[in-house]
Amino acid sequence: MRINLHKNARTTPAQRAFIQKASQTSISDLADKFGVSETTIRRWKKRKSVIDNPHTPKTIKTAMTREQEIVVVLLRICLHLGLDDLLQVVQRFVFPGCSRSSLNRLLKRYHISRLISFKEALSKEHSKTSSQKMVASLDDYRGTYFYYNRITVPQLPGTQGPFQVQTLLDNSFRYVYADINISVNQPSLSFIEQAILHFPLSVLGIIFTDPIAFFDSDMNMAESALDHVQLIRDYCRVQNLTPLHLETVPKQTTDRLKQEIKTIIQNHPQQINLHGFDNEKLLKSVWLYNTRLNLGSLKQNTPSQAIQDYYIHFPNSFRKKPNQSFGTSPSARGDE
């Protein structure tokens, strides 16, 4: 049997067992017998096990609060950014002192250190069907696809009731739209419509997953997910868009998110500080992301700049020309 001992261990498991059972032998005699200090003898007498305890912390301490960790995980889900680009977003908007290694550990704890890509999810979905023709190609030069997320949050300190956060991510250039809505029962189609009207590229379809909802019963969640899927499908059919219902977020991730936010609300409500957080502040953050962050996935361009550069080479992919001020207005949906 293989025994793992600490590199500085002076006693074996057999000697430790002898120490624990030798109730009639004095501490000093045992120390002399095994050539160790009396402190070592006392330590092993107190323990029930003869195996070395791990020298790593029982819980890995991070500088971020639980609330911040949840925000980071949701950013990972909604933005689908790689580790380095996500680190830049986290340092800018969530926690400036976040390190690359601590961020990677956080993503691993939530089972999203590697997210399935849209192309992988689409290929997996296609393999389930009998059709020989791909439903869609995400590399279609005629336009782009939006990735839609809806997150329903219960009433929290600093809020007047439950609310939902909606995000749309342009699959090609990582351009983002976001919105806070007090209607929690269904997606806000006006939010999607306004984003499509504002975006200069032709939108070919919408990628979407089941909504993330905290504290709903399993039955309510199932009904909500079905309504959500059907509503998006119906909207896409009317607008002549391709709906792509893909599985991109592991169930372990959403389960842990729900458990964490439940724990915070029940035991650490003081960690939640949403006072003064509203659509205006959210949209200002989105504007900074779209126009000020140079992403490695875009060859160190901002999403706004990458779109303008793409127009020079592929103008036929656009419904309208993005002018020089595209994306530079913090007022949200558009400046055109």
Residue-wise pLDDT tens digits, 170-228: 988 999 999 887 766 656 788 999 999 999 998 988 999 888 877 555 445 555 667 88
Between CA 235 and CA 212 the distance in angstroms is 20
Query: Which runs of E-coded beta strand occur in the chain?
Result: 144-153, 163-170, 176-181, 203-208, 212-213, 242-245
List Cβ neighbours of 277 (8 Å cut-off, separation of 6 or more). 158
What torsion do the CA atoms of 326, 301, 248, 156 make, to the nearest 10 degrees? Answer: -60
Can you state the angle between helices 27-34 and 13-21, rounded to 10 degrees? Answer: 160
The second-level CATH assignment, the architecture, of 66-317 is 2-Layer Sandwich (3.30)
Q: How far apart are CA 80 and CA 222, in angstroms?
A: 25
- CA atoms of 2 and 148, how far apart (whole Å): 52
Q: How far is CA 185 from CA 153, 163, 169, 216, in A?
A: 11, 9, 22, 11
Same fold, 1-55 and 66-317: no
CB burial readout 140-178, b (16+ within 10 A) else e: eeebbbbbbbbbbbbebeebeebbbbbbbbbbbbbbbbb
Residues 324, 330, 332: CA angle, nearest 5 degrees? 95
Choice between 122 and 269, residue whose per-residue pLDDT is larger: 122
Which CATH number applies to 1-55? 1.10.10
Query: What is the reported pLDDT for 332?
Result: 45
Question: Where are the chain's structural domains?
Answer: 1-55, 66-317
Tokens of 294: 């140079």
Contacts for 107 with CB less than 8 Å, ≥ 6 apart: 73, 76, 83, 113
H runs (alpha helix) in 94-198: 100-109, 118-128, 189-198
CA neighbor of 262 nearest in space, from 164, 180, 163, 156: 156
- pLDDT value of residue 138: 57
Q: What is the pLDDT of residues 225-281, one digit of tens each?
A: 678 888 899 999 999 998 888 877 888 888 888 888 778 777 766 656 554 457 788
pTM of the predicted structure, to 2 decimals: 0.73
Taking residues 315-319, report their average pLDDT. 87
